[in-house]
Amino acid sequence: MNTEVFITCAVTGAGATTGRSELVPITPPQIADAALEAARAGAAIAHIHVRDLETGGPARDPALYREVVERIRSADVDVVLNLTAGMGGDLVLGGVESPLPPNPVGTDMAGATERLEHVAELRPEICTLDCGTMNFAEGDYVMTNTPSMLREMARQVQALGVRPEIEVFDTGHLVFAKQLVAEGLVDDPPMLQLCLGIPYGAPDDPATLLAMVNQLPPRCVFSAFAIGRMQLPFVALAPLVGGNARVGLEDNLWLERGVKATNGALVERAVTILETMNVRVLGPAETREKLALTERVT
């Protein structure tokens, strides 16, 4: 059991959630405020996506990231920044009879350097690396991350001095994550995020979680989360199997039945769950030490 846990708050994500809750942040000021709210509530790490200002859909404009990051760094609240690098791997095929050319609506494919442009400019302490391809949700959409793309992104992230958080959505992703570590493309300690309950990846049950934990690379620091109604139960499950916790509106919109969540409220609930289990919640400075991160950029 892990008795000293850090909490990551994933404050907005890229999914179609803005129409389901008015509390999901969209603009850079809203996203920055949500990250700071989560930090004040006890989150050590803020995981950041940005959104299109007109549609609320996914975006990867470095200018949007720049505004969010500058607002957070100028505040008097310390939090470890974790910027997504998952955008730019979105492929929507043209249909079951004519898969090519891809559907331009929803397709956003970019090269490794372009996908990391905001990371190179802003140098967050952490950025994500989605460690594989999968049929994410429904229809003709494929989350696309080839081995050569992931190796090149890992090389660039390592050269930037940024720690990759390897996102593992299924057991095959975990196999490749260990390969990246074995090839020296990920510095010690490897940081992994086990993402469960996402169609059509690893299901959000304790047996699957244990199976994945038993295949983790040595010396790694890991977190585990599930989406929807299983988000808060996984706050309790994760430390029991040695991990850290993640909550936030990227993964779950509800605090309880009939009560829409805010990021701050989800973090507060996670802190309550962990402290009730006699688990100490780590702050940003202790989390940096645990992950061997570079000093906070101001």
pLDDT, averaged across the chain: 96
What pLDDT, on the 0 to 100 scale, is given for residue 138? 80
| H/E element, 221 | strand 221-226
**Residue 43 pLDDT more than 50?**
yes
Q: Are strands 254-256 and 259-260 parallel, antiparallel or unpaired?
A: antiparallel
> Rounded mean pLDDT of 76-104?
96
- Sorting pLDDT into bands at 50, 70 and 90, what band is 136? confident
CB 100 within 8 A of CB 118: no
Q: How far apart are CA 41 and CA 46, in angstroms?
A: 12
**Residue 286 pLDDT more than 80?**
yes
Q: Which distant-in-sequence residues (6+ apart) come within 8 Å of 4 by Cβ?
A: 279, 280, 282, 286, 290
Handedness of CA 13, 180, 109, 195 (dihedral sign): negative
Q: How far apart are CA 279 and CA 293, in angstroms?
A: 23
> Rounded mean pLDDT of 230-256?
98
Q: Provide the whole-model pTM.
A: 0.96
pLDDT in tens, 192-214: 999 999 999 999 999 999 999 99
What pLDDT, on the 0 to 100 scale, is given for residue 295? 57
DSSP 82: E
**Residue 296 pLDDT more than 70?**
no
- Sorting pLDDT into bands at 50, 70 and 90, what band is 289? very high
CA distances from 276 to 35, 141, 192, 206, 280 (A): 24, 41, 25, 20, 10
How many residues in total does the chain contain?
298
What pLDDT, on the 0 to 100 scale, is given for residue 95? 95
> Rounded mean pLDDT of 208-231?
97
> Rounded mean pLDDT of 14-32?
96
- Sorting pLDDT into bands at 50, 70 and 90, what band is 241? very high
Q: How far apart are CA 162 and CA 191, in angstroms?
A: 12
Strands (E), 1-40: 4-5, 7-10
Q: Which domains are delineated in the chain?
A: 4-291 (3.20.20.70)
**Residue 163 pLDDT more than 90?**
yes
**Residue 53 pLDDT more than 50?**
yes
**Residue 294 pLDDT more than 80?**
no
pLDDT in tens, 74-85: 999 999 999 999
**Residue 298 pLDDT more than 80?**
no
> Rounded mean pLDDT of 143-147?
96
